[in-house]
Structure 1
Amino acid sequence: MLRHNLSLFSILLAFLIGAFGLAPHASAATLTLSGGSSATIGQTISVPLLVSIEGSEVLNAVSAEVRFPTSLLTLQSISKTGSVMSFWAEEPSYSNNNGTASLQGIVPNPGWKGQAGTVVTFVFKVKASGSATISFSSASVLANDGLGTNILSKTFSKTLSFGDSAPQATSPTPTSGAPLAPVLTSSTHPDPSMWYNDANPLFSWKVPADVTAVRLLYDKNPVSSPSILYSPAINRKQLSDVGDGTYYFHAQFQNANGWGAISHMRFQVDTVPPKAFTIKVVRESSGENPQPILSFETTDATSGIDYYTVTVADAVPIMVTKSHAAQYLLPIEKSGEETIVVHTYDKAGNTITESATLTIVAIESPTITTYSKQLKADEPFTVSGTTYSEADVRITIQNSSGDTETESTTADASGNFSLIWTKHLDAGTFSFIAVAKGASGAMSLPTEPSIFVVAGTPLAQWGSTALGYLLFAFAVVAAIAFVAGVGYILWYRLGHLRRRLKHMTVRSGRGVQYDFERIMDDLHSLATLLHKAKQSRQLTKEEDVILETLKHHLKKMEDDILSRLEQIDDEAGQ
């Protein structure tokens, strides 16, 4: 119950911490039990627990429960040195009676991401010979997304082989009264069975009060006697630029009674990466066998090959053992041209990388045999077809706005599949495609889009029809009102224009009448003068012609002007 409460507390704590920094989901995480693969009875062996994060994911918390065989191993300690965890919701703990160890670590915002980060290191002591597997009984890796999403995709256990004889040298029997053998430790090379790529090992020991001097030496002999004297005694020694290989560090104390027993500590150095290699295609991808077979086997001269990782495009790296490197069946998620990256690790952690570009052939697309083309309101969409035996089939529906939803089903042994859509579909026009994923992991190309229509509810249809009629009627009324309004405006404007024209005509006519009256007055005056001149004297012939012509034209003009003015008055009065 206590562990259950602690687990709930840690998950809640991880959620609260992650809530202050959200990270997008992009990939996944792996937990790996790493370290050496062999040891002997009485020897200690370190097994680091490593976490790796891929893509844009960020780690917030790690929890794990590990099992180990108590008949072969004793768990001596769990080291937090070098851990990527910042603090612990549950401190690392273990039980040698039950053969279990557990932990719950947290990294506050902004979290942690990377490859092969150390969570803890389990330090075991070998009790008996045989083969022991250290594995996970439960585990989780929570994302720093404010939701506590478990992004753990895979765990890797560790198998160890134990022999009968210890490779580490033993100390000779000390002289009576002389100091005991120094207890040697190393922060850089703590496990004698493991390989390290650090060529500058550091060793330390505690110096008793009565010790006056210490002798040191390192070589490849397990039982050498040290010869380099340090007086007064020092309590640590760092070596530099040690070559690759297996070595032993020797130390011996001296007090007033003489030189004591000698301690020997083995350490192993490998700074050179594995031998360069190429990725060979043993079998090409084809329609019948989309998964290619690759070979990328190589060697390491010093510590030996530990494992490989294979990454296809941006997917999570897959750990591959040495036994599978010569004939590796590549798992695939999609067709097309893909970049394959292989990382090779030796037992010291040195790595070499190679990549290749492969063309993955797609499997055949599913065949759609029947589907719902016309659906009533709330009637489920159904689709059936054929594909490969027991293949996964993904149906993706897209609405007229471009939004998509996907649901999946599995074909039977004969390759037949059917799917009843579970999500609600609004009224409208939709298209769908189907994609198959075979047992090998190969993906097909999508089918050609097919169209289907979902009708609205009867009430919605009636409402739509009524609304249509109302809109039509409104449009007709609006058109009539528009025509009437325009007609009224034109009638009003034309009437106004007509009145203005009449007014202008009357004014113009009266102006013309006034002008002609003045002209006629002048002409009458001229005619009157000529007539008076005729009474007092004889007019010349020309004057007499002018007088007669003026009389004639004045009469005609007067009659014509009067006629036109009467016509204008008549029109203006209408």
Structure 2
Amino acid sequence: MAKIYKIALTFLLFGLLPTSVHAATLFFSPSSGEYAVGKTLSVSLYISSADQAMNAASGVISFPSDKLEVSSLSKTGSIFSLWVQEPSFSNSAGTINFEGIVLNPGFTGSSGKAITITFKAKAAGNALLSFSSGSVLANDGQGTNILSGSGNARFDLGNAITNIPEASIPSTISGAISVPKISSPTHPDSNEWYSNGNPVFKWNLPTGVTEVRLVLSKKAGTSPQIKYAPPIAEKALTEIDDGVWYLNVQFKTAQSLSKISSFKFNIDTTKPADFTINRYDNDDATNPRPLLMFESSDGLSGIDHYEMKIGGGDWFKIESENDGKSYKLPPQKFGTHEVLVKATDKAGNSISTSAKIILKPASIQKPTIKEVISPKMRIGETITIKGVITKETEDEKAVKTVAVVADIFNIKDDDSSGQISEFVEGVDERLIKTTESPIDESGNFDVKIDSLKIGTYNIQIYGKDERGMVSDASSDIAIEVTDNKPFYAQFVGWVSDAISRGFNGLINLVANGWQSVIVGAFGAALIYWLARRAIPFLIMKAQRTAYIVGEYKLNKRLLRSNQKAQFEIKILYDDLQKELILFKKIKQHRKLHPEEKYFKEKLEKYLKLLKTFR
């Protein structure tokens, strides 16, 4: 009974303690701007929950139905993977509803996109977007509402201006003055964003214009107040703030004023927001195609695209609609990979971030090479490497081995052809190409390699599972590619060429006169004797020389392999001795555990075995 009271008292005490509450917010981006009546504007709803993972959010957005109407709702790029209620809207009531769920482990970040709303401006005036209600639930197993606040958005809707890039007003007033036709060499397209805050503008200057009036404004059609007399035909502005601007230009003559011409230009000199790269498959560190999530934001021009670079590879483009979603990397080998992601906005401003992705090797067996056909091949020939690999893996989570991959490196060391080892040490190894061969039901494989130039190559063969991950160990073999013909065949060619030249000389002698026939016949007899006696002798000597050179190279390889093996045995022997000394020190302080005792006996057994090889 006392135990029950103790538990109850503990519960009451902890219930009275204050709990740590993390904050989340809902906000719009962009949150302000100026738009002409009849035009469309896109506004994205974002969730910020930087301190704690959230897994659900809902809300009702209110907007003035007399000034705005919803054209569409988009879920592209949303952090929500499930929707309790599909996003919906009512233009008559001026409301937008949403309710979505983020699967475990939830979302943590400063700018998780929920939905994108496309409005059409109906009437001039101020349009306010606000939240009538909202909630953000923590991924804490209790559904704690961590929403601490929500932001508003306010847009200034003006009268419709058409053909903004150039003068849209009628070209003359009572046939008197042409309307200014404005252009910009630095900001030519009014629909694009530019990172240059120093725009330059030009316009035509008709005859009879005595004064030019200008004004820079947030609205089109603003009456110009700055006067230039004599008139100017060009104006350069400097250090203009970010945003949407209008240069308004008006001409004046002795009789009247022209209509105002407005040129819209957009400036964004600010980089996108900082962001992080998160990995979403941490439960499988052997996955060769890791799932990453990243998302930046830009309050003005918006994100245009992302670029990614893996290690020392080239940059490649990722479209902006993939942000906020899990992105699957191209297949990677085990090891540590630095991933760089660059976010670029529509004005060309960019920001980069990086993350180190660690891939662990899968439990794929190392291939075993059983036979190598033609380790010394000639140009145009094919080498076949036969072997076997275990298809089943020891890891229950791992998938089956389905193929072997051969990486082919060009090396300078030409004395190792035909050698099969764990590692083949080459100088200045350079990857030439990679080939892949499937395995049969028994795990057998045939790797065929051709189209290699003259030289020595190191071939590393790995196992590969059906996900694309390769084994952490490879079986290596060195091959040599030589000229099309062996030496003695080339020698026969040289002698044949000499015989041909001899007969041509004989023909020339006969052509010079019958008195040379005897000399020619003697020459032909001499050449015939050489062909019968000397050529087979020289071929035999060439073959014998090639055999001796081959024996020398083989002995050299065997000696080098033996020296390398002795060196590695010595290292292993020393390491075992160090381990046994460590056990001895432990035994001086305490009694060895059964596992430690068993391991010590094994080490002593291996040490005795190694002594026989020293």
TM-score between both structures, scaled by the size of structure 2? 0.43
TM-score between both structures, scaled by the size of structure 1? 0.46
Give the structure with higher Rg (CA).
Answer: 1
